[in-house]
């Protein structure tokens, strides 16, 4: 597997998915307003949270075992057999808790929740199998189908007057497309499950599930907790939830490259670990860290300067209530850019137990801080809680990984990126003082100016310039 080309394919797909997602969010935000999004986002959060007990780490364990190369079909058959009983049990619990689900979401979406849970879990398993088959680049096409289905079918349903239901049904259509194409591309045949392979998957998954819980807590616990406060009538409104999640999704754009590299990194590091190739693992991790960090740092500075303008122009004036939330979350992405690489590497060297310990600590910090800080500061408190808990998570992952590997962190290059980002921020702020930003064209022009300033300064440093030249090579090979 070519790590650079696989990362690039995923990055291109994630860029496409981000564009589609943002186009959909912009359209739905302007057409429906913040309150319906305050129902849709908790729905997606609930799907994610309920996916934890229905999966219980089986998907990541399947990717790990299939990537090792032995008994692929038996591992796949065993994974399928393990996944469906909890899916059925959780679905029955949802059905019998219909009244509380409706109160929590603010709309009767119980049946849609059950269907979304089945479709999402089945689709996601196909993606993890493809990754385990060392076909990470091919998952790019599969994963972009969800936003395509969401925006196309969701907009049609919006025109038919379905309101918030258009968002939910659009998500179901996109997930179904992902399911169909994903399993069409899987090449591993399905064999009968065995107790031996059950033990192997559970042995890995029992720790991996905690990391999965950490991912869902990180992505959705703030929205889930905000929704609880809305349900009991204190602290926040559904409109503020919609604004918060839009700010969250805007901040995620800066993570596209980091996530792409981490996704491609896992099966490769897993394969090297199985072969005992420690030197190759130690050399690739710093290489994987730097390109992501070179993008995240200037993005944080740019967002800090332009947060109000970004929210107002992209989504509408009522979303500017989350301007400070956006700055906090963009700052948190600096730590996440490091974490996604270190976290996947720690799991790939077959130490999901240590990743689980780090995640368990951060989950506890996240939960406690969310309760206290949301009650005290509303949506700003949720952002602060998420950021502090993730700093703890990243620090622990770095501590554990360096116990097994000698990692030469690219400190000097990162410092130069900080200098270039600060200079860019000053230039953009100076322009903003004299130019009032009222249109998407004006906003885009200011952003392009900032990119030009940052690029010009950061490439003055020859080690970074050499890395950039090396990164261009796989891009040229990738272009037909």
Q: Is residue 246 part of a domain?
A: yes
Question: Which pLDDT does position 476 carry in this prediction?
Answer: 44
Q: What is the DSSP letter of 138?
A: G
- Whether residue 473 lies inside any domain: the answer is no
Specify the number of domains making up the chain.
1
pLDDT, position 265: 56
- Inside any domain, residue 28: yes
- Residue 209 is predicted with a pLDDT of 67
Whether residue 386 lies inside any domain: the answer is yes
pLDDT in tens, 185-202: 887 777 887 787 777 777
Check residue 76 and give its pLDDT: 80
Low-confidence spans in the chain with pLDDT less than 50 = 1, 474-480
Domain of 111, in residue numbers:
3-409
Under 8 Å between Cβ of 300 and 418: no
* Residue pLDDT, tens place only, 128-170: 888 777 776 677 778 788 888 888 888 888 888 888 888 899 9
Contacts with 349 (C-beta within 8 Å, 6 or more apart), sequence order? 269, 270, 273, 281, 401, 404, 405
DSSP string, 276-304: T-HHHHHHHHHHHHHHHHHHHHHHHHHHH
φ/ψ (deg, to 5) at 316: 130, 160
How confident is the model at residue 479, as a pLDDT? 44
Residue 428 lies in a domain: no
Tally of CB atoms within 10 A around 26: 16
The answer to whether residue 452 sits within a structural domain is: no
Whether residue 451 lies inside any domain: the answer is no
pLDDT at 478: 42
Burial label for 183, CB within 10 Å (0-12, 13-18, 19+), is middle
Is 48 part of a structural domain of the chain? yes
């Amino acid at each position: 597997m070519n790590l650079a080309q696989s990362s690039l394919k995923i990055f291109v797909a994630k860029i496409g998915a981000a564009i589609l997602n943002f186009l959909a969010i912009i359209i739905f935000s302007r057409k429906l307003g913040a309150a319906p999004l305050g129902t849709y986002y908790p729905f997606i959060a609930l799907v994610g949270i309920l996916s934890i007990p229905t999966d219980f780490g089986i998907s990541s364990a399947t990717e790990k075992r299939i990537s090792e190369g032995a008994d692929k079909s038996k591992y796949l058959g065993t994974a399928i057999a393990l996944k469906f009983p909890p899916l059925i049990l959780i679905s029955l619990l949802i059905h019998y808790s219909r009244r509380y689900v409706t109160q929590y979401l603010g709309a009767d979406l119980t049946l849609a929740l059950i269907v979304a849970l089945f479709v999402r879990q089945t689709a996601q398993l196909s993606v993890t199998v493809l990754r385990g088959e060392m076909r990470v680049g091919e998952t790019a096409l599969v994963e972009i189908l969800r936003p395509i289905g969401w925006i196309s079918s969701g907009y049609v349903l919006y025109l038919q007057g379905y309101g918030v239901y258009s968002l939910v049904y659009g998500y179901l259509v996109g997930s179904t497309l992902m399911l169909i194409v994903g399993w069409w591309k899987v090449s591993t045949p399905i064999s009968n499950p065995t107790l031996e392979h059950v033990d192997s998957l559970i042995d890995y998954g029992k720790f991996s599930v905690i990391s999965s819980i950490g991912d869902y807590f990180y992505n959705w616990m703030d929205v889930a907790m905000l929704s609880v406060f809305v349900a009991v009538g204190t602290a926040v409104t559904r409109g503020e939830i919609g604004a918060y999640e839009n700010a969250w999704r805007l901040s995620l754009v800066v993570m596209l490259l980091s996530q792409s590299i981490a996704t491609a990194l896992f099966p490769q590091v897993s394969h090297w670990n199985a072969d005992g190739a420690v030197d190759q693992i130690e050399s690739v991790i710093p290489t994987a860290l730097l390109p992501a960090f070179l993008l995240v740092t200037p993005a944080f500075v740019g967002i800090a300067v332009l947060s109000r303008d970004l929210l107002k122009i992209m989504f509408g004036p009522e979303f500017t209530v989350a301007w400070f939330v956006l700055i906090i979350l963009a700052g948190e992405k600096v730590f996440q850019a490091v974490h996604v690489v270190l976290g996947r590497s720690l799991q790939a060297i077959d130490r999901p137990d240590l990743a689980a310990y780090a995640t368990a600590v951060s989950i506890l910090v996240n939960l406690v801080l969310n309760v206290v800080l949301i009650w005290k500061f509303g949506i700003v408190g949720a952002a602060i809680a998420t950021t502090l808990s993730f700093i703890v998570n990243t620090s622990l992952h770095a501590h554990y990984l360096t116990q097994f590997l000698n990692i030469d962190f690219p400190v000097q290059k990162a410092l130069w990126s900080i200098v270039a980002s600060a200079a860019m921020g000053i230039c953009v702020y100076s322009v903003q003082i004299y130019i009032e930003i009222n249109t998407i064209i004006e906003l885009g022009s200011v952003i392009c100016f900032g990119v030009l300033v940052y690029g010009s300064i950061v490439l003055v440093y020859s080690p970074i310039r050499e890395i950039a030249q090396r990164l261009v090579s796989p891009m040229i090979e990738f272009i037909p």
